[in-house]
Amino acid sequence: MSLLGNHSLTTRSQNPFSLWKKDMNQLMRKFDDDFGTFNIETSDFMPNVEIKEKDKSYIVCAEVPGMKESDINVTFSGNNLILEGERKSESKEEKEGYYTSEFSYGSFYRSIPMEEEVNADSVKASYKDGILTVEMDKVKPSNHKTKKIPVLKS
């Protein structure tokens, strides 16, 4: 008697996830039959960011279209630039025989660590045409000299 029972070698060599996938598809169809279909959609987004490093400063630009300045928070903490906000938009259309209304909401949070120390008092933010621009000055490196300390025999 074979250890494989009634299974052939081709069944045994199938992708082990193919049976699981089949079972999951059946389970989802049963769920749809029992409760109806629905679409889970998240409206959170992550803005694209561009970081430019200059000799004495950083410039960070973030794409946040469809927002107002009052919807955006910029903070600087522990040498991290933190960008966060919430996008809200609404469109309504009324025509003969139908009415549509679409709402779009989304929030974002982004913490960007700066490679070099930044002067927190120098951070400035501006917003124009869907682009948030944050400029900050680097802290000047200190001119500490290295001094070798001799170790004396006591």
The reported pLDDT for the residue numbered 2 is 42
Residues of the chain with pLDDT > 90, as a percent, come to 23
Helix (H, G, I), strand (E, B), or coil: what is residue 16? helix
Amino acid present at 114: M
Global confidence as pTM: 0.57
Sketch the domain layout of the chain as residue ranges.
Answer: 49-137
User: E strands within 39-97?
Assistant: 49-53, 57-63, 72-77, 80-95
Residue range 126-141: average pLDDT?
A: 90
- Whole-angstrom Cα distance, residue 33 to residue 64? 40
Residue range 13-22: average pLDDT?
A: 60
Fold of the domain spanning 49-137: Immunoglobulin-like (2.60.40)
In this structure, the number of other CB atoms found within 10 A of the CB of residue 135 comes to 16
